Amino acid sequence: MSSSQESSTQLKARIASRSARIGIVGMGYVGLPLALLFSEQGFPVTGFDIDPKKVAALNGGGSYIVRIPATEIQSARQRGFSATSDYAAIGGMDAVIICVPTPLDEFHEPDLSYITGTAEAIAPHLRAGQLIILESTTYPGTTEELLIPRLESGNPGGLRAESGTAEAPGFYVAFSPEREDPGNDTVARRDIPKVIGGVGPVSRDLASALYGSIFNRTIPVSSPAAAEMTKLLENIYRCVNIALVNELKQLCERMGIDIFEVIDAAKTKPFGFQAFYPGPGLGGHCIPIDPFYLSWKARQFDFHTRFIELAGEINTRMPYYVVEKTSEALNGHRKPLKDSRILILGVAYKRDIDDLRESPALTIIELLRRRGAQVAYNDPYFAHVGRGRHYDLNMDCAPLETIADYDCVLIVTDHSSYDFPRIVEDAQLVIDTRNATRGLASDKIVRC
């Protein structure tokens, strides 16, 4: 048995015995739940993050994500889970899973600095026989074109990744896209099938064994690029269909048709239709971003993804549509948008979560401010909204008790804690972008 075969066999045995040491880089909305899942199954887990506040919170048994109670962190701590900012600890891990952000830059092009920075931080501590897995959403080719070269060039031992050649690999690499759906508690994490693409058969089998120990089903594919494209297809599918209903919503409005009634009727068809719903724009880390990742990569192959780019443009324009509808509604009440007091209800990108990433509410607030409106917000998950990658708002949460003082209440995120009948009763004017007031009859309500 060759040394590489021996190391892979030993790693597989450690996975089977739950003694393999798991390191997860990025303790955010993807990495932390994954770390807890491994911990629940008895693996020794270490979380890595460059944010000292997150590291301190986790080591103190606290949680900074609303849907993850502190009791889960405390239970994991009792099982040996810990967090660190010291990448030297990477050398003690058997498997390292990378769950870092992959945002867009100001030109809507991929910003892979988090991946490259992580690879360069890991490389000096890389040792023979380790399994490195990338989970961050990205374009096809990232694992092999970006991650592996940095790992290979940066490690002092000259280790090489499995490549399918006769040369014995020094370490193993795979890509497995995250499939987190914040706020969705109808599907257990273990029941979400895990797609896995290894750079070679041993990498694929090791990654399948690792994920198979915590997920009920794994889906091996032929390569990391195939797994990377799978993730993009899943989210672009949603992006395109949401763009379709967003465009139809605007048409139905002109035609005097209720788009939500139409969708409810269409979804009674038992085949060939899946319901998607319009809204004020797309949010979250994946759906607003993935189309641009693929479009950028496609241009390298002299291919223009016109259909996908059109869907992205439609969804990107939705906050502008909401602002125009708000201006029209205020005009109908003999009030100009400039100097009007507007309360935004909900700034999270979707219902009942504490996640601001790419939220359309942030764009809507900035657009309203530019046009001279006096904007406040209320969100039970955010006491303050400060500065982010693409926004600088510096706002504190306003109390709901003052709704009557605003010229307009704009429902952007329909948190289940909101009492919408009471909100409509107290407000002067309500702009509803989520159909949250459906069933309520009032001339105060404008649905858009």
What range does the domain containing 268 cover? 237-447
Distance in angstroms (rounded) separating the CA atoms of residues 114 and 119: 9
Residues 140 and 21 in one domain: yes
Indicate the number of domains in the chain.
Answer: 2
Same domain, 171 and 27: yes
Helix (H) or strand (E) holding 317: helix 306-332
Q: Looking at residue 358, what is its pLDDT? A: 86
Would 227 be classed as within a structural domain?
no
Q: Let me know whether 349 and 311 are in one domain.
A: yes
Same domain, 123 and 200: yes
As a whole number of angstroms, the distance between CA 111 and CA 293 comes to 9
Residue 230 and residue 177: Cα distance in Å, rounded? Answer: 8
Contact 433/448 with Cβ under 8 angstroms?
A: yes
Q: What is the pLDDT of residue 1?
A: 46
Question: Does some domain include residue 38?
Answer: yes
231 found inside a domain: no
Q: Could you tell me if residue 267 is inside a domain?
A: yes
Same domain, 156 and 197: yes
b/e for 21-35, b at 16 or more Cβ within 10 A? bbbbbbbbbbbbbbb
The DSSP code for 118 is H
**Residues whose CB is less than 8 angstroms from the CB of residue 151 and which lie 6 or more positions away in sequence, other chains included:** 119, 122, 123, 126, 132, 159, 161, 171, 173
Which CATH number goes with the domain that contains 177? 3.40.50.720
Both 63 and 108 in one domain: the answer is: yes
Dig out the tokens for 324 from the structure: 């125009």
Do 213 and 241 share a domain, yes or no? Answer: no
Residue type, 117: G
Q: Looking at the structure, do residues 52 and 176 belong to the same domain, yes or no?
A: yes
Tell me the mean pLDDT per 10 residues along the chain, length 448.
Answer: 71 97 96 97 97 97 94 98 98 97 80 95 96 95 96 94 73 95 83 96 97 98 97 93 96 96 97 96 73 86 91 93 97 95 96 91 96 97 86 92 96 97 97 95 93
- The pLDDT assigned to 125 comes to 97
Last residue of a domain, one of 222, 245, 266: 222
Per-residue model confidence (pLDDT) at position 180? 82
- End-of-domain residue from the set 187, 222, 257: 222
**Dihedral of CA 161/162/168/170: which sign?**
positive
DSSP 107: T
Question: Does residue 176 lie in a domain region?
Answer: yes
Tell me if 440 is assigned to some domain.
Answer: yes
For residue 98, the cross-strand partners are 25, 134
- Among 155, 187, 222, which residue terminates a domain? 222
Query: Does 230 map to a domain?
Result: no
Same domain, 213 and 262: no
Identify whether residues 254 and 213 lie together within a single domain. Answer: no
Kindly state whether residues 204 and 278 are assigned to the same domain.
no
Provide the pLDDT for residue 5: 66
CA distance 306 to 399: 44
List residues with catalytic annotation. Answer: 286
In this structure, the answer to whether residues 143 and 191 fall within a common structural domain is yes
pLDDT of residue 285: 63
204 domain residue, yes or no:
yes
Residues 233, 238, 241, CA angle at the centre, nearest 5°? 120
